[in-house]
Chain A
Amino acid sequence: MSDIKVKIGLECHCQMTSLKTKLFCRCPADYRGKPPNTNVCPTCLGLPGSLPYLNRRAVEEAIKVALALNCKINRRMVFYRKNYFYPDLSKNFQISQYDYPLAVDGQVTINVNGTDKVIRIKRVHIEEDPGRIVYKGSIESSPYTLVDYNRMGIALLEVVTEPDMETPTEAKAFLQELRSILEHLDVSDGSLEGSMRCDANISIEGGSRVEIKNITSFKEVERALSYEIIRQRNLLRRGVQVKRETRHWDEVRRVTVALRAKEEEMDYRYFPEPDLVPIEIADEMIKKIKEQLPELPATRRIRLVKQYGLTEYEARVLTSDKHLADFFEKLVSIHGNPKIDCNLVINELLRLLNEKNIGVRDLKFTPLEVSELLRMVDEGTISWKSAKYVLRKMVETGEHPRKIVEIEGIRRIASIEEIEKYVDMVFEKYREDVEEALREPKVVHKLVGEVLKETKMLADPKITFQIVSKRIEKLRELKK
């Protein structure tokens, strides 16, 4: 992929999930899990005669984000109608922004493989989410569609980048950073299904720009882009021109498909929404919001390095997910050993989370329980190795670590006398190995391993090694 130049731009749609109501009506913003078409009113259902009324907090939250993305805030913000027909749009136009958007010209720094890269933000604007279409099977095979308007009118923030990304990995890194920023601002909860979606445009040197729509989660982006790059590269290789078109990401089949040709080059006939008035954003308002901005991932990273002596890398892993970083800091505040705490969180805990595909907030325990676990290691009650095992059990069952240790009979064997008993057994059992160990020091490790196995891994490996080595040494001397 390195031989051809790829340009990727993203249009991210993030729901402002911390709002109580929709963008233009007073329906609850929490539409998830409700029976279809039960979270609507005349306005979001687009009934004849209904009118939009702007949610003040949506504007304030959006300004927060724009500031965090280092954008210039426009002093005059205007809503426009974007006119196009689609069954998920109850009015067959979307209230969005066009000229006079909320903010323009921002930037975000991402880091891929240790290298920083600036991604420019073209614009940030506010718009309404469409409803949800349910297909019977795929979009292409469904004999009709089912529409649920519960989501219609949810406040969305659209963040548009310049085509500054060159690989799917960079795109993924950008989205991760954006998500972390939104979570640090407490504007959007990325763990909620469908709360962060995006469209991507991608062009490969020598081809036209292709837009990929319907990427329903940030996770899918890398996959969709990788597929599309291969598809376009294959076309170019065969000498086929890549058409300028809009394609639809089919999540199930993991391919992009071209929809009806007529949908390209849509004339949206944007014009200012006559039912809403312009919003003048005063300097004082921006100043006030700026003063109240919480710590963002970039500054938090620096602080984590300074305050806890973490590496750049460790700080980056932690802050890629606000809740992970929160978890870590809480843990340190109780347990107080940054190196060990960080190691446990970014190596052990994060691996388990990824394996189970869950988020930090899905855990059934808090940093307090984890600090208990680490305290048992500190006390010498259990080994580090056992601690990892107990952590897995905690993730799976939510049980208290001390209880898991008790039930499973886990403890750390550190008494020399006790370990020597096992060593006796092993030396009896593996006489040949012992003989060999006298000549070849490497075999000592094998014996240690056998002893640990006998103790069901409860023995302290260091002490065991010392005992085994001492024995071999003695035998060797005796032989002389």
Chain B
Amino acid sequence: MGDSREAIITPETLEYLSELARLRLTESEKKIILRDLNRILEYFSIIDEVEVADVEPAFHVLNVSNVMREDEVGGDSLTQGETLANAGHKEEGYIKAPRMV
């Protein structure tokens, strides 16, 4: 996977990632984040020292499985008023979102 000590995140990668995360960054933020991310990744690279070939990943820390509920109506149902109360833009019961194109 390449040498972990080299800077992995280039300005282009950062551009791509901020697009993926839908996060607009200012120029000064880009500078700071680019510097920090590479320092942090360099620090993270110590995990390369550990051999984990036969280890199962811990998707969950406890061995809990098969937790399901019955198919019965209930829960914290919300009224339209409660649902819309926190929405900034609304129209006739709908929540207004930006255009698609």
- Chain A residues proximal to chain B, CB less than 8 Å: 19-21, 25-28, 35-43, 45, 53-59, 78, 85, 87, 133-135, 139-140, 142-149, 259-260, 262, 267, 269, 272, 274, 276-280
Given A36-B80, A78-B59, A278-B59: A87 touches B97 (CB 8 Å cut-off): yes
Looking across the interface, which residue of chain B has its beta carbon closest to that of A259? B101
Describe B's contact surface by its main secondary structure.
loop
What per-residue 1/0 map shows which CB atoms of B81-101 lie under 8 Å from chain A? Answer: 001100001011111111111
**CB <8 Å contact, B73 and A26:** yes
**CB <8 Å contact, B76 and A38:** no
29 example contacts (A-B, Cβ-Cβ < 8 A) are as follows A19-B71, A26-B75, A27-B75, A36-B94, A37-B95, A38-B93, A41-B76, A42-B78, A43-B76, A53-B67, A53-B69, A57-B71, A58-B71, A59-B68, A87-B98, A133-B97, A139-B100, A140-B100, A144-B98, A147-B95, A147-B96, A148-B94, A148-B95, A149-B83, A269-B20, A277-B60, A277-B66, A277-B67, A279-B66
Looking at A26, A56, A78, A139, the one whose CB has the most chain B CB atoms below 10 A away is: A26
Looking across the interface, which residue of chain B has its beta carbon closest to that of A61? B71
Given A144-B98, A272-B59: A280 touches B71 (CB 8 Å cut-off): no
**CB <8 Å contact, A146 and B94:** yes
CB distance from B5 to the nearest CB of A (A): 25
CB distance from A68 to the nearest CB of B (A): 20
Given A140-B101, A277-B66, A278-B65: A37 touches B94 (CB 8 Å cut-off): yes
CB distance from A261 to the nearest CB of B (A): 12
* List of B residues within 8 angstroms of A146 by Cβ: 91-92, 94-97
For the complex, what is the distance from the CA of A42 to the CA of B74, rounded to whole Å? 12
**CB <8 Å contact, B94 and A134:** yes
- Chain B residues proximal to chain A, CB less than 8 Å: 19-20, 22, 59-60, 64-80, 83-84, 89, 91-101
**CB <8 Å contact, B68 and A54:** yes
For the complex, what is the distance from the CA of A272 to the CA of B56, rounded to whole Å? 14
Give the contacting residue for A27; candidates B77, B84, B96, B101; CB below 8 A: B77
For the complex, what is the distance from the CA of A424 to the CA of B73, rounded to whole Å? 74
CB distance from A183 to the nearest CB of B (A): 19
Looking across the interface, which residue of chain A has its beta carbon closest to that of B16? A267
**CB <8 Å contact, A37 and B76:** no
**CB <8 Å contact, B75 and A147:** no
**CB <8 Å contact, B69 and A37:** no
For the complex, what is the distance from the CA of A145 to the CA of B71, rounded to whole Å? 32
Describe A's contact surface by its main secondary structure.
loop
**CB <8 Å contact, A35 and B80:** yes
Looking across the interface, which residue of chain B has its beta carbon closest to that of A24? B69
For the complex, what is the distance from the CA of A227 to the CA of B20, rounded to whole Å? 32
Looking at A43, A87, A146, the one whose CB has the most chain B CB atoms below 10 A away is: A146
For the complex, what is the distance from the CA of A28 to the CA of B98, rounded to whole Å? 28
Give the contacting residue for B78; candidates A45, A55, A262, A280; CB below 8 A: A45
Looking across the interface, which residue of chain A has its beta carbon closest to that of B97? A87
CB distance from A195 to the nearest CB of B (A): 17
* List of B residues within 8 angstroms of A43 by Cβ: 75-76
**CB <8 Å contact, A20 and B83:** no
Given A37-B80, A37-B84, A37-B94: A21 touches B71 (CB 8 Å cut-off): yes
For the complex, what is the distance from the CA of A259 to the CA of B101, rounded to whole Å? 8
**CB <8 Å contact, B80 and A56:** no
Give the contacting residue for B72; candidates A21, A36, A39, A45; CB below 8 A: A21
**CB <8 Å contact, A280 and B65:** yes
Enumerate the 10 nearest inter-chain pairs by beta-carbon distance, A residue then B residue, closest first: A26-B75, A146-B94, A56-B68, A57-B71, A87-B97, A36-B93, A26-B74, A272-B59, A37-B83, A277-B64
CB distance from A43 to the nearest CB of B (A): 7
CB distance from B95 to the nearest CB of A (A): 5
* List of B residues within 8 angstroms of A133 by Cβ: 97, 100
Given A55-B68, A55-B71: A260 touches B101 (CB 8 Å cut-off): yes
For the complex, what is the distance from the CA of A143 to the CA of B100, rounded to whole Å? 8
**CB <8 Å contact, A279 and B68:** yes
**CB <8 Å contact, B73 and A21:** yes
For the complex, what is the distance from the CA of A87 to the CA of B83, rounded to whole Å? 16
* List of B residues within 8 angstroms of A57 by Cβ: 70-71
**CB <8 Å contact, A144 and B65:** no
Known: A45-B83, A146-B96. 6 other contacts (CB 8 A): A26-B69, A38-B80, A39-B77, A143-B99, A146-B91, A148-B93
**CB <8 Å contact, A145 and B19:** no
* List of A residues within 8 angstroms of B76 by Cβ: 41-43
For the complex, what is the distance from the CA of A28 to the CA of B71, rounded to whole Å? 10
